[in-house]
Amino acid sequence: MVLPTIKTFSDDYDSIYKQVENIFKEYNICQWEKNADGSFSCILNRINTQKNNSKIIETDGCCISICKQPKDFNDKAIKKSQHTSLKGCIVKSLKCKLHICKYLRETNDLNIKEAITKIDLLINLFRLKYDVIWESIPYGSSKKTWLDFYRMYRSIFL
């Protein structure tokens, strides 16, 4: 078994992360909008707010449960810094970046479907090379955790 170098793994991680980030921005998949109070909310939060007949728009986003409970994960970066700041997520987690909520996956919007297809291709591309790592690392894990695990994995098989 020939495993890519740690540098190659790191470069692949960064490349896919950046490509997905660009797809999310280009297509505005989550349909982020600025609320009256200056916070931002995605389409699902706005729909949930309307369903619940709330006067306050939910702004948590789809990954907030991990952000609220970082102690449940072994990643020291998350435990130390929590997940979010006023600027949003501060942990470069590939699984989180590649996550698309059920609402968007079920949409009929052709632009969003096109974007999701592109993201799914990137997920598959990454998993072709690193599926064992993908399966072993939980959501919310920082790049450092991914690299540490990959180093350990490589040392076992080299």
- Provide the domain limits for residue 57: 6-157
CA 14 vs CA 4, 18, 95, 145: distances in Å: 15, 6, 12, 14
In a domain, 137, yes or no: yes
Local confidence band at 157 (pLDDT 50, 70, 90 cut-offs): confident
Number of domains comprising the chain = 1
What are 32-37's contacts with CB under 8 Å, separation 24+?
Answer: 35/59
Closest alpha carbon to 49 in 89, 82, 37: 37
Residue 83 pLDDT exceeds 60: no
In a domain, 1, yes or no: no
In a domain, 48, yes or no: yes
Local confidence band at 80 (pLDDT 50, 70, 90 cut-offs): very low
- pLDDT tens digits along 92-128: 888 888 888 888 899 999 999 999 999 999 999 999 9
In a domain, 142, yes or no: yes
84: β partners: 89
